[in-house]
Amino acid sequence: MAVDSLAGNAAVVAGGEMVTLEVFRYRPEEETEPVYQAYEVPVHKDWVVLDALNHIKDHLDGTLSFRWSCRMGVCGSCGMMVNGDATLTCATFVESLLPGPIRVGPLENFPVVRDLIIEMNDFMEKLESVKPWIIRDEEKSLEDGAYLQTPAQLADFKQFSMCINCLLCYAACPVYGLEPSFTGPAVIALAQRYNLDSRDQGAGERNAILNTDEGIWQCTLVGECSVVCPKDVDPAAAIQRYKVSSTLQWYQKLLMPWSGK
Amino acid sequence: MEMLSHDILIVGGGGAGLRAAIAVAEIDPSLNVAVVSKVYPMRSHTVSAEGGAAAVIGPDDSLDDHAYDTISGGDWLPDQDAVEAFVKEAPRELLQMEHWGCPWSRQPDGSVAVRSFGGMKIERTWFASDKTGFHMLHTLFQTSLKYDPIQRYDEWFVTKLLVDDGRCQGVVAIDLATGKVHGIRAKAVIVCTGGCGKVFPFTTNANIKNGDGMALAYRAGVPLKDMEFVQYHPTGLPFTGILITEATRSEGGHLLNKDGYRYLQDYDLGTPEPQPVLRSMELGPRDRLSQAFVKEQEKGRTLQGPYGDYVNLDIRHLGEKIINSKLPFVRELCLKYENIDPVKELIPVRPVVHYMMGGIHTDILGATPLEGLFAAGEVACVSINGANRLGSNSLTELLVFGARVGRAAAEYASRQKGNGAAVAAQAAEEVERIERQYLSGGGKGDKMVDIRQGMHAAMESGAGIYRSKASLQKSAQEISNLQDRIPGIRLDDSSQTFNTELVAAIELSYMLDVAEAIIASASQRTESRGSHQRTDYPDRDDNDFLAHSLAVRKPGAAPTIEYLPVTITRWPPGERVYGR
């Protein structure tokens, strides 16, 4: 996006109004404990919190570190805690947080690499663990053309395919905070995205991974994941649906042990 | 120094890089392939593409029609053998994405739906509502996880290509989390780092689009091809530059000047009809629409806003149902970032830098003139896009040429033995250079933001939609002055751990090299063709310039520009006709 270099010309809300950002700082080579550092930033009508952070980086303190890329809410890089809420900083307007101060920290429930940058290896491993790809008993060859999938069949899983992996739901999830082994909202929603895809036959394989305490059963249905999700993926619904279908499968197996997967 | 080692190393984990990685893993699972990306792959800029991906699917369509639209859209600069290969392999690649789970939008009977797009005379653009790039990227990334041979270096940033004995044999990269600089050997290197929109101030491109791969290849002596061709997309939101997809117009949106008049009718783009007409008016090509905006601005018929002049995009008449089903992301972006609801209100838009037609010079397989170095996607110039890319050809391009380059590199790598000792010494030298140039505190005190804004000003004023000898000369001088200031950059941050300031400084040096190539190529091309419009040479000149420019770097001086004839197979150069 173009914001950084146009910032100097941006329309100012009130002449010279400033706001204080209190930003979480942690540099492992310099600090043993995190500190909050205050920066005074001009108030611009069109600025989001990410623009304010970039202003700090460009003009006040080049050492402040954070991830960002698309500035249009689709790459999933810039999730942080803003005044205690997990949010995409590219979609949170400074004006909505006045008069401040605005407190910006790294996403909760993750180890901090530095400043606002969290360590996300755990999430990446979990994402891979649920086999998020189409699994078929028999692959159809390309020569046989496309799978038919009606708009209604597409709608069955489309919502769960909208996740941008921004990790806000992990920062908001009290269970993940206490039990880091919990698979967590986004990854369960992703597993459901494939389970519910009419082209996929891998639900049984994924069930072996997910139908465990760490998988889905640790979820206590607090529902914060769906509240903070910027893309309306509704992971809580995915988990609930998964629990219901797993329970049904369990009963089915109990009553009809010959009934396959 | 200790070196990591792979058979094939892919730089960049966006659509092209991931498609290439899968192609390698499928063709020869014994090859050890790794993807190095400065961001986690699903953050790559492919994620932002909205409208769709073109490939012939319907019985009323033909490969020749897709080829003709692409070639005429590119103002006869595309290489026609490359375009023919592209349109032929396109349907299979999109079908492959379907089998991998891409949630393509569907017809009621369950078959894949297509929509119309600018410059295309038949509906052939496959789409996943208006988040096609997002769904393609996540599908590719998730699918790539099932291939064991594919390894990843996430958040590693490449600073140099290792070249010895006339062959590219690896890279040097910083592991951002630790700050440790590593040499990585490879028998073949594939560059898939995307474009360089961030050399301009007003762009749809993400922060990571800094021309990294273009500069890496350019510094290794590989020519950059057709760099003067920079695409302005006609409809970006003012201030943020957020893209409002062309699909708004294929669904029937209108562009209106300050009088509410569909001004495109004044620019040889057809006559206004209530329903969208293919290859006409709002469904004309992007270069012509962006140029029409400038002409309209000169006539004083645009509107003035706090972030420059704009026109209005009107989609209100499509109704809430169509907007929600076909253009939900457009509505979300307008509501979140402009505080307007396009169901009821006009969308302010202006032309915005979007895409590089030019890039690393490759052949039809993705091989560059430097043995062992390959490229695909926006970073490369094959060329199928010529002087102006058609919307929805780029997502298809990264699949077709990503797959091609993966196969070509696999074939090449399987013939190579190990590489020489010289690359380890080069890698050690690069580690020392980074430390000395950026982290030793030796800078004289230039702030990066000043250099970056200087570059932006030079590019916008001198190398924008319309250029001239005078404007380009002035910008060339400014860019050269800014390059001289790079060694004096002062970094606040000397930390090893995730030093984003160091990355930004190296990216800035990449962007200045790319800017230099854009300006030099634009200066030498004394004609107007597609997106390259010279006010001092307003006509196309097929006698002298039916040719690709090749910018070759000369350290300390302006690059030299050579020319390579365009490959013409079946479509002799003709007039670009839209709306008549």
Does B418 score more than 80 pLDDT? Answer: no
Residue range B502-506: mean pLDDT, rounded:
97
Q: pLDDT tens digits for B142-175? A: 999 999 999 999 999 999 999 999 999 999 999 9
Average pLDDT of chain B, as a whole number: 96
Lowest-confidence pick of A5-9, B22-26, B39-43, B328-332:
A5-9
| In B100-207, alpha helices (H) | 132-144
Does A261 score more than 50 pLDDT? Answer: no
pLDDT score of A257: 63
Question: Do the Cβ atoms of A68 and B207 come within 8 Å?
Answer: yes
pLDDT score of A119: 97
What separation in angstroms does the CA of B552 have from each of A185, B223, B227, B557, B558?
Answer: 51, 5, 11, 11, 9
CA-based max dimension of chain B: 69
DSSP state of B580: -
**Nearest CA distance, A5 vs chain B (angstrom):** 6
pLDDT score of B228: 98
What are B313's strand-pairing partners? B255, B347
What separation in angstroms does the CA of B541 have from each of A75, B230, B466?
Answer: 42, 19, 17
Residue type, B421: A
Q: How far is CA B186 from the centre of its chain?
A: 25
Does B422 score more than 80 pLDDT? Answer: yes
Lowest-confidence pick of A204-218, B85-99, B391-405:
A204-218
Domains of chain A and CATH, by start = 5-118 (3.10.20.30), 121-259 (1.10.1060.10)
Does A250 score more than 80 pLDDT? Answer: no
Does A10 score more than 80 pLDDT? Answer: no
Does B61 score more than 80 pLDDT? Answer: yes
Residue range B25-48: mean pLDDT, rounded:
97
| CA B415/CA B63 separation, integer angstroms | 34
| CA B223/CA B373 separation, integer angstroms | 12
pLDDT score of A15: 63
Question: Do the Cβ atoms of B47 and A117 come within 8 Å?
Answer: no
Residue range B424-453: mean pLDDT, rounded:
88
Q: Which residue has the higher pLDDT, B261 or A251?
A: B261
Q: Give the length of chain B.
A: 580
> What angle separates helix A121-129 from helix A185-195, to the nearest 10 degrees?
20
On the 0-12 / 13-18 / 19+ scale of CB atoms within 10 A, A235 is buried
Check whether the bond before A101 is cis (ω within 30° of 0): yes
- What pLDDT band is residue A3 in, cutting at 50, 70 and 90? very low
pLDDT score of A113: 97
Does A13 score more than 90 pLDDT? Answer: no
Nearest to residue B99, comparing CAs of A258, A56, A6, A138? A138
Interface of A with B in 98-157 (CB under 8 A): 113-115, 117, 119-120, 124, 127-128, 131-134, 139-140, 142, 145-151, 153-154, 157
pLDDT score of A2: 45
Q: Which residues of A touch B202 (CB under 8 A)?
A: 2, 6
| CA B487/CA B407 separation, integer angstroms | 40
Instruction: Assign 3-class secondary structure to B316-378.
Output: HHHHHHHHHHHCHHHHHHHHHHHCCCCCCCCEEEEEEEEEECCEEECCCCCECCCECEEECCC
Question: Do the Cβ atoms of A70 and B452 come within 8 Å?
Answer: no
Interface of B with A in 541-580 (CB under 8 A): none
Find the residue in A nearest to B47 (Cα). A75
| Chain A contact present for B58, CB below 8 A | no
Q: What is the ipTM of this complex?
A: 0.96
Question: Do the Cβ atoms of B492 and A63 come within 8 Å?
Answer: yes
Q: pLDDT tens digits for B239-255? A: 999 999 999 999 999 99
Q: pLDDT tens digits for B128-145? A: 999 999 999 999 999 999
Q: Which residues of B touch A27 (CB under 8 A)?
A: 495, 497
Element (H, E) at A245: helix A235-255
Contacting residues for A113 by C-beta, under 8 A, at least 6 apart:
A28, A119, B177, B497, B498
Q: Which residues of A touch B306 (CB under 8 A)?
A: 10-11
Q: Which residues of A touch B111 (CB under 8 A)?
A: 146, 148
Find the residue in A nearest to B129 (Cα). A158
Does B554 score more than 80 pLDDT? Answer: yes
| Chain A contact present for B438, CB below 8 A | no
- Beta-carbon contacts below 8 Å between A and B: 190
Looking at the annotation, which residues of B are catalytic?
A: 233, 249
- What pLDDT band is residue A1 in, cutting at 50, 70 and 90? very low
pLDDT score of B2: 79
Interface of A with B in 22-41 (CB under 8 A): 27-30
| In A71-158, alpha helices (H) | 121-129, 151-158
| Chain A contact present for B328, CB below 8 A | no
Q: How far is CA B472 from the centre of its chain?
A: 22
pLDDT score of B443: 62
Q: pLDDT tens digits for B291-302? A: 999 999 999 999
Residue range A49-57: mean pLDDT, rounded:
98
| Chain A contact present for B166, CB below 8 A | no
Specify the 3-state DSSP secondary structure of A253.
helix
Token pair listed for A89 = 């900083």
Percent of chain A with pLDDT over 70: 90
Token pair listed for B361 = 């010079």
Residue range A200-220: mean pLDDT, rounded:
90
The DSSP code sequence of A157-201 is HHGGG------HHHHH-HHHHH-TTS--HHHHHHHHHHHT-TT--
Question: Do the Cβ atoms of A113 and B498 come within 8 Å?
Answer: yes
Q: pLDDT tens digits for B440-480? A: 876 668 899 999 999 999 999 999 999 999 999 999 999 99
Lowest-confidence pick of A6-10, B29-33, B136-140, B522-526:
A6-10
What's the angle, vertex CA B3, arms to CA B13 and CA A118, rounded to 5?
Answer: 45
Lowest-confidence pick of B263-272, B373-382, B418-427, B569-578:
B418-427
Residue type, A226: S
Q: pLDDT tens digits for A100-143? A: 999 999 999 999 999 999 999 999 999 999 999 999 999 999 99
Q: Which residues of A touch B304 (CB under 8 A)?
A: none
Rg of chain B (C-alpha set): 23
| CA A52/CA A247 separation, integer angstroms | 48
Residue type, B563: Y
Contacting residues for A32 by C-beta, under 8 A, at least 6 apart:
none
What separation in angstroms does the CA of B359 have from each of B48, B61, B195?
Answer: 20, 30, 8
Percent of chain A with pLDDT over 90: 78
pLDDT score of B439: 84
pLDDT score of B388: 98
C-beta of residue A176 within 8 angstroms of C-beta of residue A183: no
